[in-house]
Amino acid sequence: MSEADTTEAYSARLSAADLRDAWHVLDAAERAEGFRLLDPTEGEEFFIELSTVDQVALIDSLSPAERRFWLRALAPDDAADLLQETSAEERELMLSMLDDASRREVRTLLAYAEDDAGGLMSTRYARVRPEMTVDEAILYLRKQANARLETIYYGYVLDQEQRLLGVVSLRQLFQAKGNALVRDVMHADLVSVPEEMDQEAVGRLFAQHDLVALPVLDNSGRMKGIVTVDDIVDVVQEEATEDIQKIGGTAALDAPYLEVSVLQMFKKRAGWLVILFCGEMLTVSALGPYEDDMKRVSILPLLMPLIISAGGNAGSQASTLVIRAMALGEARLSDWWRVLRREVLAGTLLGLALGLLGLLRIVLGDAMSDKRYEPGVRVGDVAITVGISVLGVVLWGAITGSMLPMILRRLGFDPASASAPLVATLVDVTGLLIYFGLATALIISTLP
Amino acid sequence: MSEADTTEAYSARLSAADLRDAWHVLDAAERAEGFRLLDPTEGEEFFIELSTVDQVALIDSLSPAERRFWLRALAPDDAADLLQETSAEERELMLSMLDDASRREVRTLLAYAEDDAGGLMSTRYARVRPEMTVDEAILYLRKQANARLETIYYGYVLDQEQRLLGVVSLRQLFQAKGNALVRDVMHADLVSVPEEMDQEAVGRLFAQHDLVALPVLDNSGRMKGIVTVDDIVDVVQEEATEDIQKIGGTAALDAPYLEVSVLQMFKKRAGWLVILFCGEMLTVSALGPYEDDMKRVSILPLLMPLIISAGGNAGSQASTLVIRAMALGEARLSDWWRVLRREVLAGTLLGLALGLLGLLRIVLGDAMSDKRYEPGVRVGDVAITVGISVLGVVLWGAITGSMLPMILRRLGFDPASASAPLVATLVDVTGLLIYFGLATALIISTLP
């Protein structure tokens, strides 16, 4: 009794909101301690709202009895998500802590890939029969209020073989005549998804149709579970986070930024940085043949950063726009020709604008400065070289940036891997060749 | 009659799904034509699911009578979103097409900023009184099934002054005793948002608490409406799209990629490209003093792209990670010191790795090639210059990339404006100074 009293005295001072605010500055032991101080109802809510990563970490630092208690507090789909993050032996141990029915459900869910509709779904939906009357269905759903169903506001109408015939909402039932049959009031023309549909696509369906729940079917049309919109908000946010991190040239962190250790972060970031650095080494070799030209015309190396960055920036724009359009389903692989046409047009316009600026910079820079180029180097030639090079690299950047995500998708990779740094690096190497090719033709060849 | 027949014959051939698939390749007139061929129920669903931009475009190409019909089909919050996109005179015209009650509601909603909780909310929620019994409340909600409420599954418990006391779900009511009072079964400790809360923050609350609906309150705690989760999926996706486009160095497109005209796209992209191009012009001036050094040691200009791109890439990584962490509420302004410490550590580790690679590249490149540097230039000095420069620019990139989004937020700007190209440009200029500063000290100063 005395321990319970102490706990209560503490809990008066620690609310879930306080703990949530302090969470990211606490270590594992402090988190467990704070968590124990919450009152039971608050604790349950708090635990359920934690990210899966945090749930695993917290569970790990609790006693076996506490662990069993909290595992049992989770709905099967959430428990499956949690177990997905643990090692094989830990998983078996935790499974043994569940009651028989939950264990069976969780095992089924674990068989799905985490990012599939099957991995997202809950198996706890309300089933109604087509030959029920409306009043019977209402009474039935009402009785399910205490059951651990995901929602009682939708009844899924299944035939004998568990095939989905339609869905009826409690609201529709309320509007119908009490003696009408469910089969006559149900919505038969409904959106459903196959078990193996990727969660990103599921998220798009929710966004497009403003749905509350989506039934998940197997190949023969049998109902397996439902995905609800509250889980989808997380999915949409996670997928966007993953894309953003990839666009920045990092592997997906899979956890909140401040909670990833510096060493883990190093690993997630070093991969691409090293690849890009090695790729960029090609510029050193590509520039080799122009070493003498740079000595003869000293303005040439000075303009290199200006010219390649213009291409890199145009490429970053194009790739991020196309990556996002593909993620939202706005641009498909079959649209590649339309995308290319648009980017060639936009790239040309942007290239002309920047090229003109570059040309002016050279002409005005020369007019306002006392410094002169080497004998035989004409300002006009330099200006034209810069103008055309910038036009060329910007156009090339827009083409590379827009096509690379599509090529990656075509090859089965994630389009978001066409990160801004990757596109910039590709365009750097080729951009320098465009620039020095033009410089040789327009400037070097006219030298005495 | 004959016209109705024709329409029906056509509509058998055109489903909403077909129209949706073909949508992005149709022009405005074809869209209106296809839309008219849908049967009325499908048409309504199709119209409601269109993005606001598409709704406006479609409405514009319909006759006044059709326009009135479809405007009236929208819920007030959706109608307000649509009117937000139209010109002032068009807005008044469309407002006059609504019935009196809807017009009042839409006018109220139009007074909110589009991106506020107030601009997102629906005013059509179910109100219940605290002194109702559970049975009365169930009966009341049941009677509302036909009303145009956003949801009948939640009853908001208000006092005489319209202040929110609590919320009760239909499911909770089903579980309670019929003669209990609503005030005793309602959930009083509930999450609510102020009218002016930004929609990004509202989205975070939904993701964190797995909510279905959130009440919106004014400053004195009076209930103004509810935001429902189905609208939030769109918000979360829109906000992510905006951030991704900004990270790529584009102004937010505000419409699907393939539907923005090339000219509009040029405008959205040219702004940042021109600013960045002008910024990058500083590199030309910054390099001026080193013109002679480049002539004396010809390897120096050849390494420029390698060194500045390393800094730019490290900066892109840091800025995208921090921008996303801020958008998700994982990192706040007050965390700046923790973020800086992490980035200094990660940047040092990454810089050491890449610096070592750069150093090896110089040493091995020299060993494997017949080409020699100018007399007096020692391989070791070049290798050390490259190694330390890369370490320096990578560290500097990580610091700039992580702090810039926080500085922008502090100044009231969108952190996502710290785009990969902007960070890369900033790091280019300073990175070159680091590199040539070191080269002068370590290589040039030892030349005969």
Give the model confidence (pLDDT) of A87-104 as tens digits: 878 888 888 888 888 888
Q: Which of B171, B187, B348, B369 to mutate to test the interface with A (most CBs of A within 10 A)?
A: B171
Q: Which of A41, A50, A320, A374 to mutate to test the interface with B (most CBs of B within 10 A)?
A: A320
* Res B319: pLDDT: 94
Write the CB contacts of A412 (distance below 8 Å, at least 6 apart in sequence).
Answer: none
Cβ–Cβ contact A145 with B under 8 A? yes
Write the Ramachandran bin of B419: left for phi over 0, alpha for psi from -120 to 50, otherwise beta: beta
CA gap B44, B35 in Å, rounded = 10
Distance from CA of B373 to the nearest CA of A (A): 11
Write the CB contacts of A425 (distance below 8 Å, at least 6 apart in sequence).
Answer: A276, A279, A280, A312, B309, B313
CB contact at 8 A, A78 and A51: no
Percent of chain A exceeding pLDDT 70 equals 97
Whether residue B294 and residue A298 make contact (CB cut-off 8 A), yes or no, is: yes
Which residues of A, range 418-437, sit inside 8 Å of B by Cβ? 419-421, 424-425, 428, 432
For residue A222, what is the DSSP state?
B
Cβ–Cβ contact A358 with B under 8 A? yes
pLDDT band of residue A4 (cuts 50, 70, 90) is very low
Whether residue B330 and residue A256 make contact (CB cut-off 8 A), yes or no, is: yes
Whether residue A236 and residue B237 make contact (CB cut-off 8 A), yes or no, is: yes
Amino acid residing at B140: Y
pLDDT in tens, B282-300: 999 899 899 989 989 989 9
Distance of CA B434 to the CA centre of its chain: 35
Q: Considering only residues A183 and B97, tell me which one the structure prediction assigns the higher pLDDT.
A: A183
**Phi and psi for B86 in degrees, rounded to 5?**
-105, 170
Cβ–Cβ contact A281 with B under 8 A? yes
Query: What average pLDDT score do residues B100-125 get?
Result: 81
CA gap A331, A322 in Å, rounded = 7
Nearest CA in chain B to A213: B230
pLDDT band of residue B199 (cuts 50, 70, 90) is confident
Q: Which residues of B171-190 are buried (b: 16+ CB within 10 A; e: fewer)?
A: bbbbebeeeebbbebbeeeb
Q: How much is the mean pLDDT over chain A?
A: 87
* Res B417: pLDDT: 87
CA gap B111, B59 in Å, rounded = 22
Most confident of A186-190, B42-46, B352-356: B352-356
**Beta strands across the sheet bearing A213-217:** A193-194, A213-217, A223-228
* Rounded (5°) CA angle A133-A137-A141: 175
CA gap A266, B58 in Å, rounded = 50
Q: Which of B257, B259, B282, B435 to mutate to test the interface with A (most CBs of A within 10 A)?
A: B257
* Res B8: pLDDT: 40
pTM of the model: 0.79
pLDDT in tens, A139-175: 999 988 888 788 899 999 999 889 999 999 999 999 9
Question: Beta partners for A194?
Answer: A217
Which among A24, A266, A330 has CB closest to B258? A330
Query: What average pLDDT score do residues A413-437 get?
Result: 91
CB contact at 8 A, A315 and A343: no
* Res B1: pLDDT: 37
CA distances from B448 to A309, A378, B366, B383 (A): 35, 33, 21, 19
Which among B152, B229, B316 has CB closest to A229? B229
pLDDT in tens, A10-58: 444 577 778 887 887 788 888 888 888 888 777 877 887 787 778 888 8
* 3-state helix vs strand vs coil in chain A, percent to 5: 70, 10, 25
CB contact at 8 A, B268 and B253: yes
* Res B368: pLDDT: 86
Closest among A82, A80, A22 to A258, alpha carbons compared: A22
Distance of CA A76 to the CA centre of its chain: 24
Other Cβ atoms less than 10 A from the Cβ of B96: the count is: 9
Distance from CA of A388 to the nearest CA of B (A): 15
In the three-class reduction of DSSP (H, G, I as helix; E, B as strand; rest coil), residue A165 is classed as strand
Nearest CA in chain B to A426: B309
* Res A13: pLDDT: 55
Query: What average pLDDT score do residues A59-75 get?
Result: 83
* Res A37: pLDDT: 83
* Res A8: pLDDT: 40
Residues of A in contact with B253 (CB under 8 A): 321
Cβ–Cβ contact A185 with B under 8 A? no
CA distances from A96 to A110, A215, A259, A274, A353 (A): 14, 29, 30, 44, 67
Percent of chain A exceeding pLDDT 90 equals 46
Nearest CA in chain B to A315: B248
pLDDT band of residue B352 (cuts 50, 70, 90) is very high
CA gap A420, A111 in Å, rounded = 36
pLDDT in tens, A413-424: 989 988 888 999
Question: Is residue A310's pLDDT more than 80?
Answer: yes
pLDDT in tens, B240-271: 999 999 988 888 888 889 888 999 999 999 99
